[in-house]
């Protein structure tokens, strides 16, 4: 039995259905939407699971109708989907509980931009119906696995969906690093940090650091220096099979820190090294409908497109004139 399969119901022999809810419990609206999802799923005999860390703040969990599960990389095992109610930060938290099980994440955006989310609060009823009827697909998103070395000894491993960034630990100190691609030195920079991003993360920290937006279906890794004191300090795109390395210069005065998705952190003293490579497993994002990434980009950033006279627009106008 795979991680995403539920054991059969002993009475009917039909596999029980289960959904994991991950909620930004700091938002009252998120708590209300979570209760709406829970009530609808329970009414359709779908098992609702909630993480222990969220259940304490959700009143409906005290009614004994949901399963409370510990937070772990396998929290979503046996679930057909993880419904994430919050912003992109909540989706990144949910990914920690879904990647290993291969369970798709379906985000309800209650944050700001919400690039990873699929639906808005006004879409809740349609989203519930789609999940109950299993009317959704899933996109695979490339991740990165990260290894941390000190004195050539592996001291930590972690991963990221958006980015792994090496940043200076102290504001008053510049970070001295040397960057390597596939075992060959690329450049030494005095900088505030270096972002190693996935295409999914290209609209996150990478975007703020001046990196390019990369369509999510593109298989690639991105390197973006942050405020580097160098003539050659441009964002770069490399093959998805490449291994990136960032090493804190041994004789530098400042230490660094590794951040993965802004959530997982490892200290990097002088001489420390990180290696970033394509992750062993993707993260799955559930999609309720086909929407070109271009349209998502325009909608999320409210890009001006007035005056565009593309083929679809011409067909629409022709139909209205007929």
Active-site residue list: 88
110: left (phi over 0), alpha (psi -120 to 50) or beta: alpha
Distance CA 185, CA 179 (A): 6
Q: Is 54 a known ligand-binding residue?
A: no
Q: Is 125 a known ligand-binding residue?
A: no
Q: Is 206 a known ligand-binding residue?
A: yes
- What is the token pair recorded at 243? 């291994």
* Residue pair 55/68 in contact by the 8 Å Cβ criterion: yes
Distance CA 197, CA 205 (A): 8
Q: Is 136 a known ligand-binding residue?
A: no
Q: Is 143 a known ligand-binding residue?
A: no
Instruction: Supply the DSSP string of 238-279, one letter for each residue.
Output: E-TT--EEEEE-TT-S--EEEEETTTEEEEE-TT-EEEEEE-
Q: Is 162 a known ligand-binding residue?
A: yes
Q: Is 205 a known ligand-binding residue?
A: yes
Q: Provide the CA 101 distance to its chain's centre, in angstroms.
A: 15
Q: Is 204 a known ligand-binding residue?
A: yes
Q: Is 60 a known ligand-binding residue?
A: no
Q: Is 203 a known ligand-binding residue?
A: yes
Those residues with Cβ within 8 angstroms of residue 285's Cβ, 6 or more apart along the chain or in another chain: 104, 105, 106, 107, 116, 118, 138, 139, 141
Binding residues for NAD(+), as ranges, are: 88-89, 93, 162-163, 173, 192, 203-208
Binding residues, as ranges, are: 88-89, 93, 162-163, 173, 192, 203-208
């Amino acid at each position: 039995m795979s991680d995403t399969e539920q054991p059969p119901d002993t009475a009917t022999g039909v596999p029980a259905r289960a959904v994991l809810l991950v909620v930004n419990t700091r938002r009252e609206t998120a708590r209300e939407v979570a209760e709406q999802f829970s009530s609808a799923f329970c009414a359709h005999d779908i098992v609702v699971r909630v993480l222990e860390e969220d259940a304490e703040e959700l009143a409906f969990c005290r009614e004994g109708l949901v399963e409370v599960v510990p937070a772990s990389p396998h929290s979503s095992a046996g679930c057909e989907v993880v419904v994430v109610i919050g912003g992109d930060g909540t989706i990144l938290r949910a990914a920690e509980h879904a990647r290993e099980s291969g369970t798709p994440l379906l985000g309800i955006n209650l944050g700001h931009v919400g690039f990873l989310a699929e639906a808005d609060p006004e879409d809740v009823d349609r989203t519930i119906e789609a999940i109950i009827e299993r009317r959704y697909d899933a996109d695979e998103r490339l991740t990165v696995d990260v290894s941390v070395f000190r004195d050539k000894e592996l001291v930590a491993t972690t991963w990221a969906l958006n980015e792994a960034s090496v940043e200076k630990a102290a504001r008053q100190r510049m970070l001295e690093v040397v960057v390597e691609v596939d075992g060959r030195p690329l450049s030494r920079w005095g900088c505030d940090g270096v972002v190693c991003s996935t295409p999914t993360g290209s609209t996150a920290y990478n975007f703020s650091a001046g990196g390019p937006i990369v369509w999510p279906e593109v298989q690639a890794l991105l390197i973006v220096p942050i405020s580097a004191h160098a003539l050659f300090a441009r964002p770069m795109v490399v093959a998805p099979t490449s291994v990136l390395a960032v090493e804190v210069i041994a004789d530098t005065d400042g230490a660094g820190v590794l951040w993965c998705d802004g959530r997982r952190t490892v200290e990097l003293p002088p001489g420390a090294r990180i290696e970033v490579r394509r992750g062993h497993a993707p993260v799955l994002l559930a999609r309720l409908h086909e929407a070109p990434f271009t349209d998502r980009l325009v909608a999320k950033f409210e890009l001006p497109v007035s005056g565009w006279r593309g083929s679809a627009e011409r067909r629409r106008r022709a139909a209205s004139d007929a």
